[in-house]
Amino acid sequence: MKKLDEFGKKLIQEVRDLTTEEYISIKSGQMKSSEAQILFELISGLNSNQQSTLDSIVGEVIDRALHNTLRMFESSESMTVADKEKIELSCDIVESSDGLSGELYGDNGWFVKYSNNYLKRDIY
Protein backbone atom coordinates (compact mmCIF):
# COMPACT_ATOMS: atom_id res chain seq x y z
CA MET A 1 0.00 0.00 0.00
CA LYS A 2 1.36 3.41 -0.91
CA LYS A 3 2.17 5.82 1.93
CA LEU A 4 -0.50 8.26 0.74
CA ASP A 5 -3.13 5.53 0.90
CA GLU A 6 -1.84 4.40 4.30
CA PHE A 7 -2.19 7.95 5.56
CA GLY A 8 -5.69 8.26 4.10
CA LYS A 9 -6.78 4.96 5.64
CA LYS A 10 -5.49 5.97 9.10
CA LEU A 11 -7.06 9.41 8.84
CA ILE A 12 -10.47 8.03 7.90
CA GLN A 13 -10.48 5.08 10.29
CA GLU A 14 -8.76 6.64 13.30
CA VAL A 15 -10.16 10.15 13.06
CA ARG A 16 -13.35 10.30 10.99
CA ASP A 17 -14.79 6.90 11.86
CA LEU A 18 -13.79 7.10 15.52
CA THR A 19 -15.32 10.58 15.83
CA THR A 20 -18.51 9.36 14.17
CA GLU A 21 -18.64 6.34 16.50
CA GLU A 22 -18.22 8.64 19.51
CA TYR A 23 -21.10 10.81 18.30
CA ILE A 24 -23.28 7.71 17.88
CA SER A 25 -22.31 6.59 21.40
CA ILE A 26 -23.27 9.99 22.80
CA LYS A 27 -26.54 9.99 20.86
CA SER A 28 -27.44 6.52 22.15
CA GLY A 29 -26.51 7.31 25.77
CA GLN A 30 -23.64 4.80 25.85
CA MET A 31 -20.99 7.35 26.84
CA LYS A 32 -21.14 7.94 30.57
CA SER A 33 -19.17 11.17 31.08
CA SER A 34 -21.24 14.00 32.49
CA GLU A 35 -20.69 16.03 29.29
CA ALA A 36 -21.85 13.12 27.12
CA GLN A 37 -24.89 12.54 29.29
CA ILE A 38 -25.88 16.21 29.04
CA LEU A 39 -25.62 16.01 25.25
CA PHE A 40 -27.58 12.74 25.26
CA GLU A 41 -30.40 14.43 27.17
CA LEU A 42 -30.42 17.34 24.73
CA ILE A 43 -30.47 15.04 21.70
CA SER A 44 -33.14 12.83 23.27
CA GLY A 45 -35.42 15.86 23.44
CA LEU A 46 -35.38 16.21 19.66
CA ASN A 47 -37.93 14.54 17.42
CA SER A 48 -36.75 12.07 14.75
CA ASN A 49 -36.63 14.71 11.98
CA GLN A 50 -34.56 17.02 14.16
CA GLN A 51 -32.22 14.16 15.11
CA SER A 52 -31.79 13.29 11.44
CA THR A 53 -30.95 16.92 10.67
CA LEU A 54 -28.47 16.94 13.56
CA ASP A 55 -26.86 13.75 12.20
CA SER A 56 -26.38 15.44 8.83
CA ILE A 57 -24.91 18.56 10.42
CA VAL A 58 -22.51 16.59 12.64
CA GLY A 59 -21.34 14.48 9.69
CA GLU A 60 -20.76 17.58 7.59
CA VAL A 61 -18.83 19.32 10.39
CA ILE A 62 -16.61 16.26 10.92
CA ASP A 63 -15.79 16.10 7.21
CA ARG A 64 -15.15 19.86 7.00
CA ALA A 65 -12.76 19.65 9.96
CA LEU A 66 -10.79 16.92 8.17
CA HIS A 67 -10.81 18.90 4.94
CA ASN A 68 -9.55 22.04 6.66
CA THR A 69 -6.86 20.10 8.54
CA LEU A 70 -5.52 18.68 5.29
CA ARG A 71 -5.76 22.07 3.60
CA MET A 72 -3.75 23.57 6.45
CA PHE A 73 -0.91 21.11 5.79
CA GLU A 74 -1.11 21.64 2.03
CA SER A 75 -0.81 25.39 2.32
CA SER A 76 1.68 25.57 5.18
CA GLU A 77 5.22 26.63 4.41
CA SER A 78 6.52 25.40 7.76
CA MET A 79 4.64 22.15 8.50
CA THR A 80 3.93 18.96 6.63
CA VAL A 81 2.73 15.41 7.05
CA ALA A 82 5.66 13.03 6.67
CA ASP A 83 6.68 9.43 7.10
CA LYS A 84 8.83 9.33 10.25
CA GLU A 85 10.93 6.51 8.80
CA LYS A 86 12.03 8.68 5.89
CA ILE A 87 12.91 12.00 7.53
CA GLU A 88 15.05 13.33 10.30
CA LEU A 89 12.95 14.99 12.95
CA SER A 90 14.65 18.15 14.14
CA CYS A 91 11.47 19.48 15.78
CA ASP A 92 8.96 16.74 16.46
CA ILE A 93 5.82 18.58 17.62
CA VAL A 94 4.34 15.34 18.95
CA GLU A 95 7.39 14.74 21.13
CA SER A 96 7.32 18.31 22.49
CA SER A 97 3.93 17.71 24.14
CA ASP A 98 2.90 15.31 26.89
CA GLY A 99 -0.32 14.66 24.94
CA LEU A 100 -0.94 16.58 21.75
CA SER A 101 -4.73 16.17 21.73
CA GLY A 102 -4.86 17.42 25.32
CA GLU A 103 -3.37 20.72 24.16
CA LEU A 104 -6.84 21.62 22.84
CA TYR A 105 -8.56 21.75 26.23
CA GLY A 106 -8.56 23.73 29.46
CA ASP A 107 -8.30 27.38 30.37
CA ASN A 108 -4.92 27.63 28.62
CA GLY A 109 -5.76 25.20 25.81
CA TRP A 110 -5.57 25.98 22.14
CA PHE A 111 -9.34 26.40 21.81
CA VAL A 112 -9.34 29.27 24.31
CA LYS A 113 -5.91 30.69 23.42
CA TYR A 114 -6.12 30.75 19.64
CA SER A 115 -9.70 30.50 18.39
CA ASN A 116 -11.33 33.68 17.13
CA ASN A 117 -14.75 32.08 17.26
CA TYR A 118 -14.52 29.43 19.97
CA LEU A 119 -17.99 28.24 20.84
CA LYS A 120 -17.84 27.96 24.59
CA ARG A 121 -20.04 25.07 25.49
CA ASP A 122 -21.65 26.38 28.63
CA ILE A 123 -23.78 23.25 29.00
CA TYR A 124 -20.82 21.59 30.70
Element of type H or E holding 71? helix 48-75
Q: Cα angle vertex 12, ends 1, 6, to 5°?
A: 15
pLDDT for the residue 85: 78
Any idea of the CA torsion for 121, 31, 33, 109, to the nearest 10 degrees? -50
pTM score over 0.95 = no
Cα separation, 37 vs 120, in Å, equals 18
H helix count then E strand count, the chain: 5, 0
The alpha-helical segments, DSSP class H, found in 76-124 are: 110-114
- Mean pLDDT for each 10-residue chunk of the chain (124 residues)? 86 95 97 95 98 97 94 88 76 76 84 77 50
Half-sphere exposure in the Cβ direction for 86 (13 Å, CA): 4
